[in-house]
Amino acid sequence: MDQTTLPQSKSRETTALLIFPALLLCMIDVHAQTGSEFVDPFIGTGKAGNCYPGAQAPFGMISWSPENVFPAYDDPYARPGYKYGQDSINGFAVTHIDGVGCPAAHDLPFMPALGPLEGSPVNDRRIYASRFRHENECASPGYYSVMLDDIRTEVALTVSERSGVASFTFPSSREAHVVFRPTNNANGIADGSFVIERHSPRMTGWIVSGGFCSGSPLASPYRLYFVAEFNRLYSASGIWEGEVRVPGGRRGYGKATAAYFTFDCRAKRNLMMRIGLSYVSVKNAMRNLRSEIPRWDFEGTRTRAERAWNDILGKITVKGSPGDRKVFTTALYHNMLQPSIFDDVNGEYTGFDDRIHTVPPAHHKYVNFSLWDTYRTTAQIQALLVPEKASDMASSLLLDALQGAPGGFPIWGFYNRETWIMNGYSALPFLSNLIAFGARDVDLPSLKRMMIRAADSLYPRGAKYIRQGYVPDTASKWNYCVSMSIEYSIDDFAASRVCAALGDSAGYRRLAARSQNVFNLFNPQTKYLQRKTESGSWVVPFDASAEEGFNEGNSAQYTWSIPHNVARLVDSLGGPKAAGERLDGFFSQILIDGWNTTQPYYWMGNEPCFGAPFLYNWTGTPWKSQELVKRIARSYDATPDGLPGDDDVGAMSAMYLFMSLGLYPSIPGVGGFVVTGPAFPEVTMRLAGGRTVHMVAENADSLHPYVSAMRIDGAPYRSTWLPLSLLKPGGTTELRFDMAARPDTAWGSAPQDAPPSFNTQDSR
């Protein structure tokens, strides 16, 4: 068996020194242009964000990250498994999802330990935990390391797509352990089985995990298979059956089991462990491991992961301060973590029908789509930068629909299970955005047929929406009738765009007309979107700040969420002047901290408000959006608290990307951007097909937020809408901006300069 070549340490002091070279590798090199040098995975791990700092390849199946000890594991702050403010670690789990608002995954945690094994980890998350300090912690794309102070042990992790390798550097000890604690994941396990092999340092098995937003692993359960092996034979091993330790035990069963491996680390203090994952079989987990990490090569694995990250992160480069570049590149990094690869190296995956399927060679099956969140921003950035992967994402959602996803397309797909989280049918705008922004290698006719079927017959509560033109109010606690009607209208519009792209004019006109249903809930007296009963009367009394009828928001926030026909919304509010005054009041407070569902102001920490800062472009006052967007973007920073809300699988980070680029994809399914001017003096975007976009913004800084002129390849341009079609299919398109300290009330303010709006037919 191959042996590690990592250096062996002789004392506590030299063990601690091992981490310092790794920490130096985490520091930003302002001369490097590799992309990963400007990523700080700790951004978003503080009070908001719910991000994790661990090792992951782009879109990787495995995301190996530390798990903190929390006062209560069901506390909201425990959702990502890790919070920067905590000071102890109780394990290193191999699955995580970026920024979600519910405990999810955190599967197969392992933890090093020293000395006698005093108790069972089955029902105790705190046992074998160790304190740590951030100065002895390091994270970069594809890598994580930390010194565990209580046991004087360094842990370093790196990964490939489906497999990972860990390095444990123990102090000199006869009893150094690695404890396998599967019940300490996010929600426990519903079942499990593992086998410790007798004559080789290997364990294989599976668990049934789940419980997204429910706390029970029996909700949305999925089966995860694994193989874990060490680079030398253990001196002892055993299992726990509940609270009882069974030395020498080799088989664990059920939902209350754990295992341990003991090593004599007096002569060889470094120990390595490899793990391979699969959602199909143990055999495939072994195949994944042998294919991706065939040797005990920690540094080689880390180098390959870093190279994969640099290939993606180098697609957009910005010039600016190191701190600003760090925020920007980390936001891009967050958008390339999920959705997750679900197929094995042989192409096999488990579908929603629990059957084994195979993707074609050189393609992937993806899972973990937070569609309500990501259709607004993440889909577009992924399609622009990695269209081949975006095409596979679109194909993956189509496969889910064809293979038995209970809602047709997933609502919130968690591995190969549905969670029914959030309202609307957001797969449709997500798919439409993928297609509009570059995903083309997908069966578009089949996708269109499924989108129409979904829009016509699969919307939850959709029959009343289609028959009455809105979802009526009910007495249900989960009464999201207004926000559901909004989302269904957006979904209809998104499906109409795919029809238009394929020449289905009848389908386009029918769905585009139905996308105007949202205005059936616009009350001309209150000038807000408002609940209606089934008989057609308004629900009174009405409070624009009330959450009733809305999911994670209220009417004051959601009334701005009609991105496909802003012009009609502006007219309904009384015209540009009245709409602008309403926007002024809405932005008189910018809410960042807290859960602001009953506040009548702009809440930057949640998706329903994403598009609102750009709406001044429809009121003839685009300079207000230009200043506002840059002011909001400055709320992001290069600290653990640097995200204003749940990252929601990259959505919050992608919002920052577009705000700082000064190009926002406001209209679902329409390839183009609302223009507000970049926050960076120079940006280079390398897109597919040999396209390059070079943006230069004279005087771009916090004191010069306003656009006074724009040129495309030297030609003056006045519109605040930039169609994607204006970017050259090959070669470089130059966008040049003159940024000013004072508003230019002429540029982009004429009616013909406004972005498009869509009724039953395209407005332009």
Which element (helix H / strand E) includes 275?
strand 270-278
Q: What is the pLDDT confidence band of residue 7, given thresholds at 50, 70 and 90?
A: very low
Unique residue bearing structure tokens 């797969």: 427
The domain segmentation of the chain, as residue ranges, is 12-313, 315-458, 682-750
Predicted local confidence at residue 458, as pLDDT:
81
207 near 311, Cβ under 8 Å? Answer: no
Q: Give the relative orientation of helices 651-661 and 322-334 as an angle to the nearest 10 degrees.
A: 130
Residue-wise pLDDT tens digits, 325-374: 999 999 999 999 999 999 999 999 999 999 999 999 999 999 999 999 99
As a whole number of angstroms, the distance between CA 646 and CA 421 comes to 15
Check residue 23 and give its pLDDT.
42
- Residue 423 pLDDT > 60: yes
Residues contacting 707, CB < 8 A, separation 6+: 622, 623, 626, 662, 675, 676, 677, 737, 738, 739, 740, 744, 747, 748
Give DSSP secondary structure letters for 419-460. ---SSS-THHHHHHHHHHTT--SS-HHHHHHHHHHIIIIIST
**In angstroms, rounded to a whole number, what is the distance separating the alpha carbons of residues 435 and 29?**
37
Q: Which of 104-113, 158-167, 205-214, 742-751 has the lowest mean pLDDT?
A: 205-214
Q: Residue 26 has what pLDDT?
A: 53
pLDDT at position 730: 87
Burial environment of residue 672 by CB neighbours within 10 A (0 to 12, 13 to 18, 19 or more): buried
477 backbone φψ class: left, alpha, beta (φ>0; ψ -120 to 50): alpha
Does the domain spanning 12-313 belong to CATH 2.70.98.10?
yes
Is the separation of the CB atoms in 607 and 376 below 8 Å? yes
Q: What kind and span of H or E run contains 395?
A: helix 387-402
Residue 108 · residue 182 · CB < 8 Å: yes
Please give the Cα distance from 634 to 611 (Å, whole number).
Answer: 17
Question: Can you tell me whether residue 344 is helix, strand or coil?
Answer: coil
528, containing H or E segment: strand 528-529
Q: What is the pLDDT of residues 568-583, one digit of tens each?
A: 999 999 999 999 999 9
Q: Residue holding tokens 């975007």?
A: 685
pLDDT at 75 over 90: no
**Does the domain at residues 682-750 carry the CATH identifier 3.30.2080.10?**
yes
pLDDT in tens, 121-150: 999 999 999 999 999 999 999 999 999 999
- 12-313 and 682-750, same CATH topology: no
pLDDT at 659 over 70: yes
Q: Does domain 315-458 have CATH number 1.10.10.60?
A: no
Phi then psi dihedrals of residue 213, to 5 deg: 60, 15
Report the side by side order of strands in the sheet with 721-723: 663-664, 672-675, 721-723
Tokens of 413: 């797909």
